[in-house]
Amino acid sequence: SVLRASAAASVTAGNPDGTELWGFVEVRPKANLFWWYYKSPQRVSTPSRPWPTVLWLQGGPGASGVGIGNFMEIGPLDVNLKPRNSTWLQKADLIFMDNPVGVGYSYVEDDSLLVTTDWQAATDATTLLKALAKELPTLQQGSPLFLVAESYGGKYAATLGVSVARAVRAGDLKLKLAGVALGDSWVSPEDFTLAYAPLLLEVSRLDDNAGDAAKK
């Protein structure tokens, strides 16, 4: 079944105890985002220190958060399905998604429904969060949500953060947006490229002659 943002929520699959859930959200007619949720076994939440939830946004554009972020970086299992000692699940509940539609398991039934801007991707992801806010008890109970991204995902996180904040203020989305974190994010290619030579000079990977040549 497909989880529809405007209808009664139903999970495609998962563990009976709700510690691991996954499925699709139809964010637009014939456009579906795939998501995967883990509830931390270390979860301890108090009114003064509520347990956080991290929504991981992969880069690319076109890289799978469910595949790469989950199994290759911060999820509880590695690509060989072996437990990972350094999983972020020790510190937060985790949500991964294949974003935007057309990436990984996320799909459209017509190529004209693929997104062409970061803001369109943010709108779809906000619609997914509206559905998950109804589905996941932890979000309903006020678990602070952090949007965390790497590489091109930094653009997704920035635009999604604005979109979610607007939806929350408008009363269209009931969750607690706690913050946005960008790691090695590819948000301004021109600025990043121009910064390479000074950085390499600073860490002594280039000499002055090579640095001058790199700036030309």
| DSSP states along the chain | --EETTS----SEE-TTSSEEEEEEEEETTEEEEEEEE--TT----SSSPPPEEEEE--TTT--IIIIIIIIIISSB-TTSPBPTT-GGGTSEEEEEE-STTSTT-EESSGGGS--SHHHHHHHHHHHHHHHHHH-HHHHTTPPEEEEEEETHHHHHHHHHHHHHHHHHTTS--S-EEEEEEEEE-S-HHHHHHHHHHHHHHTTSS-HHHHHHHH-
Q: Is the per-residue pLDDT at 129 higher than 60?
A: yes
Domain 31-40+50-185 fold is Rossmann fold (3.40.50)
Sign of the four-CA dihedral 55, 61, 65, 68: negative
Q: List, for residues 7-62, the tens digit of each pLDDT value.
A: 433 456 777 777 889 999 999 998 999 999 999 988 887 778 899 999 999 988 88
Domain boundaries, the chain: 31-40+50-185, 189-215
pLDDT at site 165? 96
Answer yes or no: are the C-beta atoms of 41 and 87 closer than 8 Å: no
Q: List, for residues 160-184, the tens digit of each pLDDT value.
A: 999 999 999 999 999 999 999 998 8
**% of the chain with per-residue pLDDT over 70:** 93
Report residue 115 as tokens.
């997104």
